[in-house]
Amino acid sequence: MDFKNKIALITGGAGGIGKAYAEELLKLGAKVSICDLDEENGELLAQQFNMMYGHTRALFCLCDVTDYPQFEAAFQTTVSVFGGLDIVVNNAGIFNDRFWELEVDVNLNGVIRGTLLALRFMGRDRGGRGGTVVITGSTLGLRPCACVPIYTATKHAIIGFTRSFGDPFHMNLSGVRIIALCPGSTCTETNAEDMKKGILSPAYEPVWRMAGNGRMQKYYLLRPMQVYKLIQNSVIKFKKIYYCLKLKGEQ
């Protein structure tokens, strides 16, 4: 796929994997709408990207994925400013089983809202030109994890959602392809101690440490850019689910 002049909307785009998505898409010639709750860093990032990659190539939209009217407004602003929409990256997510209702609302309901909005704005059956929805899942959507059962449940749900909406019936109806990327542990601004606060209770700390030690013995921490690289391949192939892990000893 040629990304030149394609228009992408990215939730959770002000940092971490979302920021990597945005920057790499800009490098490939796309225009990006950075949608995030972090207004200060989001506005600054859009300004920096416009200086680096060309005026009016990046836009910031304040966006809470749990707030449907605000989420809808981000889509409307993106289409109004850039003149269309080709790629939606449902990337926003939180890691906090102690606030599980919010976690479910962001990680699962936010993805559902974003995908339905993407179908509305991009679907050929709705007057759009088709496109691609990329959902940031997790390898925890493919296996159990005792220390964060609710977070894991949201990621399992995303896999079922993607596989169902990725069926050829939906693609033929809307012209919108829906895929999920499932990265392993990824280096972002959130460190391990901050993440530990997201487990359900202190009683889960021993199994949290065991899980972490097991991952570190077998896998490298991914960098956000390594996760992004999957997009270039995934949008031109026909799989629904893409895994991203790096075994120790691999280059």
Nearest Cα to Cα of residue 180 among 133, 117, 245, 114: 133
The active-site residue out of 53, 151, 228, 242 is 151
Alpha helices in 54-183 (DSSP H): 68-82, 100-104, 110-122, 149-165, 168-174
| Catalytic residue status for 151 | yes
Which contiguous run of DSSP H or E holds residue 136?
A: strand 131-136
Q: What CA–CA distance (Å, rounded) separates 230 from 236?
A: 10
The dihedral formed by the CA atoms of 111, 2, 173 and 120, expressed in degrees to the nearest 10: 50
Judge contact between 123 and 174, C-beta under 8 A: yes
Catalytic residues: 151
